[in-house]
Amino acid sequence: MRKLWSFPGGIRLPGFKQLSNSDSIRSLPVPERVYLPLRQHIGAQARPVVTVGEHVDKGQLLAEATSFISAPVHASTSGVVINIGSHTVPHPSGIAEECIQIEADGEDHWYPALAPLDNIDKATPTELRAAIREAGIVGLGGAVFPSAAKLKPPRSIDTLIINGVECEPYITCDDMLMRSNAEAVLRGCVLLQRILSAGQCMLAVEDNKPEAMQQLRKALDILIKAAEPGAKDIELVSIPTVFPAGGEKQLIKVLTGQEVPAGGLPYELGVVCLNVATTAAVYDAIFLGRPLVSRIVTVTGSGISRPGNYQVPLGTPIQLLLDTVGVIDGEAKLIMGGPMMGQRLPTGHAMVVKGTNCILVNKPQPKMTPMPCIRCGSCANACPMNLLPQQLYWHARGKTFDKLERYQLSSCIECGCCNLVCPAHIPLVSYFRYAKTELADQTFKRQRAEESRLRSELRQQRLEHMQREAEERKAKRKAARLTSKKKTVSTKVMASPAVENAPHSMQVSND
């Protein structure tokens, strides 16, 4: 039995998981149009390699990665590219970004050139990583960091952690994936462990998902009995259900007892952490040759009639998904993600992207009026990052932004625990998000001002240098003129008969 640690704070929440995890994963009909943003990941935007009017097949490359931290985008169905331009993306601001729009032909025909990786057992880590990069795989737990980049850490890795915790209430897409396709998850783990040469691999699941754990155990037994290389190195770990145990830093603490330092990254401790859905996507890419073109999305909440999990082609309009599940309350709030860390969407016009794990549609709740802070300290007790939320709140509210870093605002993971326990109903996380935006804006302005100061200093130095050079040239020309004048005078004087006959003293004075 593995020893487990606990992280500070955290809260036990009602799960509401049964709303969506009682039926198997359903498929959506092919949408008439899909809208594929060129940036569905952290990092540089992908660059289109198709043109308007071109016919594409499902899985065909539409846009290529443009840097190490970037990911390509593939067609999620077959059809014709009808536009490359701005469209609303899933963001609280309702912002538009560049998307490739495909009008589906209804055939959903796979690109014929796609094929599994050759000779998988002998493939090198570099070849496996390249296949993962080409498949456009990013962290599907919501972080959307390009996986190939995460699999090339700057130091050696001892521990690979596969995150099947899914601690947010309502969300069940990872739970359903582990129940329905445990083998793909486990085979993906083996590949990832090979890439990283990690000594140990732990797959963690919260103890509120017994069916998922059972399926994983069964599948692992089969792989071990079949002597699948690497299978016996996978350790399935059941962890207590406490929010936010699925946070990367919290999970590392629970499983290893180690703390990722403030501002640090897990690889610094020799740990890499990936989500179970990412792991299954790795299996699809390597064993089936399938790039990331769809994902499981939990559609749930009190505001819809048929909650459940759906296999959704990327780029599917969220409104189409809502029409399928039947929204029963027009006033319902739309959230992408869970109730704790999700983002409110102003409209259903945006689309499902690689990071869309859940669409939550809850009936509106009565609004609680915020009251003054009573300094009860509940928020600090609940904070999993050991922060002082009430201090952060005072400084965010008072706009004393310089003090916020002293209280480590940047370490706040916006988990919402402090919000939930605050008896004064202060929307603490909204203050923190506002303060982070202001600080980012100030940093940006400071950098711009610094760049402009440097540019101006360099220009001044350049002008002074040019002026110095011009003066030196002028001085040289003047000196040259004087020398030549003297030579001329001297030659004339030498040539003059009067001088030739002059006394010696007179000739000397002319020199």
Site residues (vs ligand SF4, CB under 6 A): 373-379, 382-385, 387, 389-390, 393, 412-418, 421-424, 426, 428-429, 432
Nearer to ligand SF4, 375 or 446 (CB): 375
Nearest distance, CB of residue 7 and ligand SF4, angstroms: 11
Nearest distance, CB of residue 175 and ligand SF4, angstroms: 23
Nearest distance, CB of residue 133 and ligand SF4, angstroms: 32
Q: Is the peptide bond before 240 cis (omega within 30 degrees of 0)?
A: no
Nearest distance, CB of residue 6 and ligand SF4, angstroms: 16
Largest distance between two CA atoms of the chain: 127
Nearer to ligand SF4, 48 or 389 (CB): 389
Measured in residues, the chain has a length of 511
Q: Which amino acid is at 7?
A: F
Compute the distance between CA of residue 110 and CA of residue 117 in angstroms, rounded to an integer: 17
Compute the distance between CA of residue 214 and CA of residue 491 in angstroms, rounded to an integer: 111
Nearest distance, CB of residue 436 and ligand SF4, angstroms: 10
Nearer to ligand SF4, 77 or 378 (CB): 378
Nearer to ligand SF4, 264 or 326 (CB): 264
Structure tokens at 486: 């003297």
Q: What is the DSSP string of 154-189?
A: SS--SEEEEEE---STT--HHHHHHHH-HHHHHHHH
The beta strand positions in 256-357, using DSSP E, are 271-275, 294-300, 308-313, 333-336, 343-344
Compute the distance between CA of residue 444 and CA of residue 332 in angstroms, rounded to an integer: 36
Nearer to ligand SF4, 173 or 392 (CB): 392
Q: 253, 9 in Cβ contact below 8 A?
A: no
Nearer to ligand SF4, 148 or 412 (CB): 412
Structure tokens at 268: 């610094």
Nearer to ligand SF4, 313 or 384 (CB): 384
Nearer to ligand SF4, 133 or 249 (CB): 249
Q: Phi, psi at residue 470, to the nearest 5°?
A: -65, -40
Nearer to ligand SF4, 26 or 403 (CB): 403
Q: What is the DSSP string of 3-49?
A: -----SS-B-----GGGTSSS--EEPPPPSEEEEES--SSSBPPEE-
Nearest to 2 by CA among 232, 235, 312: 235
Q: At what angle do helices 276-283 and 182-196 cross, to 10 degrees?
A: 90
Nearest distance, CB of residue 340 and ligand SF4, angstroms: 9
Give the C-alpha distances (Å, rounded to integers) separating 84 from 25, 34, 105, 355, 424: 32, 12, 18, 21, 48
Nearer to ligand SF4, 52 or 376 (CB): 376
Nearest distance, CB of residue 10 and ligand SF4, angstroms: 9
Compute the distance between CA of residue 182 and CA of residue 222 in angstroms, rounded to an integer: 11
Nearest distance, CB of residue 79 and ligand SF4, angstroms: 42
Q: 206, 241 in Cβ contact below 8 A?
A: yes
Nearer to ligand SF4, 190 or 382 (CB): 382
Alpha carbon 200 to chain centroid, angstroms: 25
Structure tokens at 475: 């001085």
Nearest distance, CB of residue 287 and ligand SF4, angstroms: 38
Nearest distance, CB of residue 364 and ligand SF4, angstroms: 23
- Tell me how crowded residue 410 is: count the other CB atoms within 10 A of its CB: 12
Nearest distance, CB of residue 171 and ligand SF4, angstroms: 18
